[in-house]
Structure 1
């Protein structure tokens, strides 16, 4: 998407200045300069004045400054940071750890605005819908806030309401992100390797889904249906008569946060049973249902009497189809069996290994990676840590994997950590083995083999039908000189812009030199109006040349290019 097609109304331009100003404030001015923002916006003046971060900020790490910048930029950028915190394939470990500290809290929206939002969405005033509605929010976040209430039927509920006016703010910010992603891919060295435009598109899809609370309600119902026969897990009920795109009403559940071990023990609950139930439930989500909770932090997991786990907040979920589940299982088995050759074949099949010269180095690093874990006792092996280490290697070789696998590695890491806190003897490998064995068993069953063989034959049949037509069309295009190849030279716009700037500066310098020479010649004659014994035209020429020269020097110094 060309940058100059982005909406440039007054609000957007003001927001551009704000975004770039905050990036520069936190020490990222050099990146803003590399992106050449001024040229693309064509405003005829600088968007912001480049400077450096304050001394207080300079003491912080770059990762910490990046997190603080996202927090100051507001809800949309905070959500982007949360998405990046699950993408260890494109984000360095120190940045990843900082992004996980992002504070997703804003001041509460006044109660009258919240009530007006409910009235607009549900068609009735709050007094007619609820027996009781608490004006004070139970929790506040960047996109929504939560209030407690009681229905006319006496049922206790929590109501999640989207912040009024948040949607146009998010749309403007996504436009800005898309423009910046376009420039990053064009101008930053290696920027295209991380597919910034694709990342922003993924983020746009994710946040649009998160803004629709009715979608989250349907997801909640789907989890409830998946576990309706399981007595070890509870999913809050959705009250659909009180739910819409901007309002989600759920059953109120009072439980103990899964990380509060002392309270769990005081309530007569068994941490070891809870750890086992939590792991089983999560692995069922992944390997049986193919739909898993992607943000299982302790705040979203509460424990009810009977060691039952209640799961909240289904705004962020991951999905695995049958092929992806099988692929994940194969990767884990390859690591556990020390089969590096098969592991690389799996990577070539599902990843993007293009550079043959790197295969030897990749094989070496994978051998060292497996050796690091091979001597660890099975009960001490941490699957979550293993997956994250594995993803780090893939990142180094620019092997891209589906984002859902990245979400899964982070979620599995969190769940394994919770299990270890509850039970020091907890072993995720033992929990995982039955699921992996079942998937492998199903994969190589006669029914599946027959099904896959049929699909392959059908694909070849379709290819056989279309191939003669495609070859004929190709030959016709070549014969009629209609065969075209489009080539794109990345970075040519930046080169043209730099040449344009250099040419303008040279022309400007020649004008200044001409003024100085002309003024010097006028100074040699005694004709015309005089001032302090000197010709006024000569003094005026010197003044103009000095003013222009000073301006040119300032422009060169501000660009940082001498």
Structure 2
């Protein structure tokens, strides 16, 4: 294995050498000395094509890596992303005779395991190949792992690990964080994707979460003909989801399809916590009745509860167009550096939200924001922690598919409607009211602590020889009245707001209780001001006396 890894390292280095030399000259024009040079968009696109050809030449591992890179704008510039997207459909076919050996080693002779078997692959992937067959139970799709791919991937993963420190030299700190995260993610996901037994388990779990949803269809696994290297499942044909002409010929509502796709992934990520993580168009199809079909669950993942909550917070902040709340959520998730320029990032987010909503954006505004970030684009403060990388991949690819189906698709509106229907927005309102109650309690404690702290502050002022004499009569009762009025005022303000929120969200019983409580507090506050007693302080100095003392 080590010898093979060393040889692969030589091969990979040789293939990437032209790009490495070019990137080195970007830093030092004459490799080891000289000033840096700027790189135009056309040059980046040309290099991206070279990278694409290199990845195809190096085989399955690097094809898979390129597919993953095509969804990571935090690692590569846009020109690279656009070129690498071609890898989703440009995967060389596997050799059938070698694939036959894998298949028969796992499930036995083909003529015994299947009634019919078509040796022409119906779908190709970087790690496997899918064939059409029939059994006594009907039509099936048979996914066979590429022969020898596991040893090749193990060698390539070592090569990537050895190459990572070299690549760090060519990128900034922010992208270095994302690149390290990408390497960890790639190592984990490609190992999981090679295990068809795990894929069968993930497929079954996700399928179970949608048993009652007639809008989607997930193939059923044929466990008797499935192993860690072969996955046999129900054959479910359909029209590729981005085949717009075919969908229109079948009179299917593309806007409805986009909304369904978005809602399905929101359920997977926010509610179920387990999701299909490879929603590119080749893995999505539509049946004649409009049912969405999902294929290839090799890349699937889980979402922990903390990230689920933060995603909900993010969508709510986006729906409210609360830029500061969006930034806070991104920082809490670890997606945005705490040291990021919030003003610049806020402008970028405002522009992004307006663009997603299809609003008209004045050209000068775009140019202004581009000018703000173009000089530091490679040090952009966005980064992707490992627990968010797959989630962002899904969000990015799903949005692209939805916009292809409906150019006017507003994912913010769909997400907001979904969250409201599922009760997330109502829960958030109740949490907001609870937070305000907690704030009032803290304010009450602070008001009670104020009198002794005020006395201490006055003592310190006297000890520092300040020429001020103050005589406050009935100080304790005076401060008690002030504290009481402050507390009544804060409670009243919070109660009025809470009542309004509860009415807005249809919580009428709770709103009635809140209104009653508000009225009681209002009466108490009013009565506190009817008290005729007031401040009885006798000042021992006037402005004229102070001037006189200064002259003396």
Answer yes or no: same fold by TM over 0.5: yes
Moved more, 170-179 or 314-323: 314-323
Where do 1:217-366 residues align within 5 Å? 217-351=200-334, 358-359=339-340, 362-366=341-345
Counterparts of 2:314 and 2:44, CA distance in 1: 42
Shift of 1:127: 1.7
**Alignment-derived partner of residue 5 in structure 2:** 12
Distance 1:330 1:58, change over 3 A: closer
Q: 2:91 aligns with which of 81, 100, 105?
A: 105
**Alignment-derived partner of residue 455 in structure 2:** none
Distance 1:32 1:17, change over 3 A: farther
Within the alignment, does 1:118 sit opposite 2:103 as a pair?
A: yes
Check whether the contact 2:103–2:230 (CA below 8 A) recurs between aligned residues. Answer: yes
Within the alignment, does 1:23 sit opposite 2:31 as a pair?
A: no
Check whether the contact 1:373–1:381 (CA below 8 A) recurs between aligned residues. Answer: no
Shift of 1:222: 1.2
Counterparts of 2:171 and 2:404, CA distance in 1: 43
Q: Residues 143-172 of structure 1, C-alpha deviation per residue, up to 9 Å, x if partnerless?
A: 111111111x14111100001111111111
Check whether the contact 1:157–1:251 (CA below 8 A) recurs between aligned residues. Answer: yes
Counterparts of 1:402 and 1:394, CA distance in 2: 19
Where do 1:496-507 residues align within 5 Å? none
Q: 2:127 aligns with which of 94, 119, 143?
A: 143
Shift of 1:365: 0.8
Counterparts of 1:115 and 1:143, CA distance in 2: 15
**SS of corresponding position for 1:68:** helix
Counterparts of 2:377 and 2:418, CA distance in 1: 25
Shift of 1:336: 4.1
Counterparts of 1:31 and 1:265, CA distance in 2: 46
Distance 1:32 1:118, change over 3 A: farther
Counterparts of 1:302 and 1:381, CA distance in 2: 33
Check whether the contact 2:45–2:80 (CA below 8 A) recurs between aligned residues. Answer: no
**Alignment-derived partner of residue 85 in structure 1:** 70
**Alignment-derived partner of residue 456 in structure 1:** none
Counterparts of 1:207 and 1:163, CA distance in 2: 13
Counterparts of 2:176 and 2:110, CA distance in 1: 47
**Alignment-derived partner of residue 496 in structure 2:** none
Shift of 1:354: 6.5
**Alignment-derived partner of residue 464 in structure 2:** none
Where do 1:354-503 residues align within 5 Å? 358-359=339-340, 362-372=341-351, 378=357, 396-403=379-386, 405-437=388-420, 438-442=423-427
Shift of 1:110: 2.8
Within the alignment, does 1:194 sit opposite 2:171 as a pair?
A: no
Counterparts of 1:278 and 1:352, CA distance in 2: 25
**SS of corresponding position for 1:398:** coil
Check whether the contact 1:379–1:429 (CA below 8 A) recurs between aligned residues. Answer: no
Check whether the contact 1:259–1:298 (CA below 8 A) recurs between aligned residues. Answer: yes
Counterparts of 1:373 and 1:18, CA distance in 2: 42
Shift of 1:101: 1.7
Shift of 1:216: 0.9
Distance 1:342 1:277, change over 3 A: closer
**SS of corresponding position for 1:100:** helix
**SS of corresponding position for 2:53:** helix
Counterparts of 2:302 and 2:344, CA distance in 1: 29
**SS of corresponding position for 1:61:** helix
**SS of corresponding position for 1:27:** helix
Aligned positions, number: 407
Distance 1:430 1:375, change over 3 A: closer
Q: 1:129 aligns with which of 113, 124, 136?
A: 113
Shift of 1:173: 0.8
Counterparts of 1:238 and 1:341, CA distance in 2: 46
The TM-score with structure 1 as length reference comes to: 0.64
Distance 1:317 1:395, change over 3 A: farther
**SS of corresponding position for 1:156:** strand
**SS of corresponding position for 2:115:** strand
Check whether the contact 2:221–2:234 (CA below 8 A) recurs between aligned residues. Answer: yes
Shift of 1:402: 2.9
Shift of 1:252: 0.8
Check whether the contact 1:27–1:58 (CA below 8 A) recurs between aligned residues. Answer: no
Shift of 1:258: 2.0
Check whether the contact 2:110–2:117 (CA below 8 A) recurs between aligned residues. Answer: yes
The TM-score with structure 2 as length reference comes to: 0.65
Q: Residues 111-134 of structure 1, C-alpha deviation per residue, up to 9 Å, x if partnerless?
A: 3x3232122223x22121111111
Check whether the contact 1:178–1:197 (CA below 8 A) recurs between aligned residues. Answer: no
Extract unaligned runs of 5+ from structure 2: 27-41, 362-369, 439-552
Shift of 1:210: 0.5
**SS of corresponding position for 1:159:** strand
Q: Residues 47-86 of structure 1, C-alpha deviation per residue, up to 9 Å, x if partnerless?
A: xxxxxxxxxx989622222222222111111111112222
Distance 1:108 1:374, change over 3 A: closer
Check whether the contact 1:89–1:394 (CA below 8 A) recurs between aligned residues. Answer: no
Distance 1:421 1:85, change over 3 A: closer
Distance 1:76 1:433, change over 3 A: same
Shift of 1:209: 0.3
Counterparts of 2:404 and 2:25, CA distance in 1: 47
**SS of corresponding position for 1:101:** helix
Distance 1:449 1:160, change over 3 A: farther
**SS of corresponding position for 1:231:** coil
Alignment RMSD = 3.6
Moved more, 69-78 or 429-438: 429-438
Distance 1:214 1:408, change over 3 A: same
Shift of 1:93: 1.6
Counterparts of 1:423 and 1:237, CA distance in 2: 30
Check whether the contact 1:293–1:314 (CA below 8 A) recurs between aligned residues. Answer: yes
Q: Residues 221-258 of structure 1, C-alpha deviation per residue, up to 9 Å, x if partnerless?
A: 11210100001111011001100110000111122222
